[in-house]
Amino acid sequence: MSSQLSSECCMKVMKEEAIKASTEAITIFDLHRQIFSVQETMEHNEGRPNLSYVVILNRSWCDCGKFQAFHIPCPHVFSACTLTRQDAYNHLSDVYKVITVMNVYNESFYAIAMEERWPQYQGDIVSHNDEMRRKKKGRPNNTRIRIEMDMADKMIRLCSICRQPEHNKKKYPNLGATSAS
């Protein structure tokens, strides 16, 4: 097993967040309760303005919401950890750690019995709703409700050569007979 603590993708994100943290100004509000104010001083192209964010380290909480949403320390948490000389990797969720992924495979898997031996299902039967499907590209399907007027006899089309109803100019029966004789 490797000595790596978390996935490569997670490590990449953590490095990016650490770089962003180096451009922030931090103010201590309460060192005992680990409450800090972090002011962004540089635009990071994330679509939000440079604001001041409150970080509460012992609750794993930040105003920006990224820390709570992704469970990966945001730049504001990195700044607070740097000030308090903590390792930001301690605030990384266990979900991203390699040991957690490896423990998934510690459990044994059982063979699946033949379908005839499965117990009878007793719950609700769920079916999909076609109205919730994403619309396909291209010309939309006709959803018009047809009535009696639409079912009326269609106009009888006549051949443009002989004016008879059973065929058209392309499928004219005597067209090939004249050239063959």
For residue 77, the model assigns a pLDDT of 92
Residue 64 CA to residue 83 CA, distance in Å, equals: 19
* Residue spans per domain, the chain: 8-104
pLDDT at 177 > cutoff 70: no
For residue 181, the model assigns a pLDDT of 41
What proportion of the chain, given as a percentage, has pLDDT over 70? 88
Q: How far, rounded to the nearest angstrom, does the alpha carbon of residue 36 sit from its chain's CA centroid?
A: 33
Q: Mark out the alpha helices in the chain (DSSP H runs).
A: 8-21, 66-70, 75-84, 98-104, 175-180
Amino acid identity of residue 126, one-letter, is: V
Top-ranked range on mean pLDDT: pick from 67-76, 95-104, 125-134, 144-153: 67-76
Residue 87 CA to residue 173 CA, distance in Å, equals: 89
